[in-house]
Amino acid sequence: MPVLGRWPLFRYSRFEGLSGSAGHWQDYDGGGKSGILLLCLTHFGHIMVTHGNLALENTPVFEACMGVAAKRKEDCIYFTLKIAQGYSRVFCVWFAGESHEEVQKNSNDCINILRRHISIDESLNQPGIQPSQVKRLPATSNGLKVYTCLKCKNDPNKFCYICGKVTMPDRQSNITRFVRKSYHAYFGMKLGDQDKAFAPHICCKTCVESLRRWSHKKIECLPFGIPMA
């Protein structure tokens, strides 16, 4: 997969909540038995966060329609993305390194690439943000707005998990064991977020057939190199 950059992370946190609830932060730490926590910026304009073989984040950030807001404080970047009407995705990344200098270099290298495509707000003036402090920030503290995950205007299960296209009922297919296994083999990551309401829980018959043909070596690749949902 062509990437603009790849960096190790100390922590990845995403805000999860439903309409009418306070929501909560889900944290993932680097290292440990689950594998290395990595952030990648792809040539397709996606931010990808992986934890071993598990994909935690795969979000297009270079598209104007996403309404991306990014704030930086030291080695932390805080992203807010408008996914759809009434629905925003919020997550933070903290960079890692073998020394303080390496952490700063990783953070700066990522920021320099992001600046070519989106604006980065570095006006935060409070002392070093730690994961526990971010959780305690009120909704409008120092310009950090936390948006709960309201009900999406469009049903996620109208979209294919693999290609991201609208899929009519007669073209829908269940995510079977074969699909999970082939998805993992082709993309190099596990098919995730099936316990989340915002994620599609179906795929299209075209993608299933393409994965089947690829697994039988009848085609060399799918029309895309990363999952598009």
Q: For residue 229, tell me if it sits in a domain.
A: no
Q: What is the pLDDT of residue 184?
A: 86
Answer yes or no: do 131 and 23 share one domain. yes
Note if the pTM is more than 0.85.
Answer: no
Which of these, 40, 55, 53, lies nearest to 4 by C-alpha position?
40
Answer yes or no: do 162 and 66 share one domain. no
Q: For residue 73, tell me if it sits in a domain.
A: yes
The percentage of residues in the chain with a pLDDT greater than 70, rounded to a whole number, is 70
CATH of the domain at 29: 2.30.29
Q: What is the maximum span of the chain, computed from C-alpha positions, in angstroms?
A: 56
203 neighbors 211 (Cβ within 8 angstroms): no
- Work out the average pLDDT over 44-50: 84
Q: Which amino acid is at 15?
A: F
Answer yes or no: do 91 and 170 share one domain. no
DSSP code string of 59-93: EE-S-GGG--EEEEETTEEEEEEEEETTEEEEEEE
Answer yes or no: do 107 and 138 share one domain. yes
Answer yes or no: do 83 and 20 share one domain. yes
Answer yes or no: do 23 and 121 share one domain. yes
Res. 125 pLDDT band, cuts 50 70 90 = very low
Q: For residue 225, tell me if it sits in a domain.
A: no
Last residue of a domain, one of 143, 165, 198: 143
Q: For residue 120, tell me if it sits in a domain.
A: yes
The tally of domains found in the chain comes to: 2
The percentage of residues in the chain with a pLDDT greater than 90, rounded to a whole number, is 13
Answer yes or no: do 23 and 107 share one domain. yes
Q: What is the pLDDT of residue 133?
A: 44
Q: What is the pLDDT of residues 6-19, one digit of tens each?
A: 898 988 988 876 44
Answer yes or no: do 36 and 111 share one domain. yes
- Work out the average pLDDT over 104-123: 85
Q: What is the pLDDT of residue 80?
A: 81
Q: What is the pLDDT of residue 176?
A: 93
Answer yes or no: do 106 and 194 share one domain. no
Mean of all residue pLDDT scores within the chain: 75
Res. 141 pLDDT band, cuts 50 70 90 = very low
Last residue of a domain, one of 143, 165, 199: 143
Q: What is the pLDDT of residue 211?
A: 94
**Alpha-carbon gap, residue 19 to 29, rounded angstroms:** 27
Last residue of a domain, one of 85, 115, 143: 143
69 neighbors 79 (Cβ within 8 angstroms): yes
Q: For residue 42, tell me if it sits in a domain.
A: yes
Highest mean pLDDT among 17-21, 42-46, 208-212 belongs to 208-212
Q: What is the pLDDT of residues 60-105, one digit of tens each?
A: 777 655 567 788 877 888 888 776 555 677 888 999 888 888 888 9
Answer yes or no: do 7 and 75 share one domain. yes
Residue 37 has pLDDT above 80, yes or no: yes
Q: What is the pLDDT of residue 213?
A: 93
Q: What is the pLDDT of residue 142?
A: 33
Residue 50 has pLDDT above 90, yes or no: no
136 CB burial (10 A radius; 0-12, 13-18, 19+): exposed
- Count how many residues are written for the chain: 229
Report the range of poorest mean pLDDT among 38-52, 120-134, 177-191, 199-213: 120-134
Q: For residue 198, tell me if it sits in a domain.
A: yes
12 neighbors 1 (Cβ within 8 angstroms): no
Q: For residue 59, tell me if it sits in a domain.
A: yes
Answer yes or no: do 88 and 194 share one domain. no
Residue 148 has pLDDT above 80, yes or no: no
Report the range of poorest mean pLDDT among 39-53, 144-158, 172-186: 144-158
Domain range holding 49? 3-143
**Alpha-carbon gap, residue 143 to 90, rounded angstroms:** 14
Answer yes or no: do 132 and 165 share one domain. no
Q: For residue 183, tell me if it sits in a domain.
A: yes
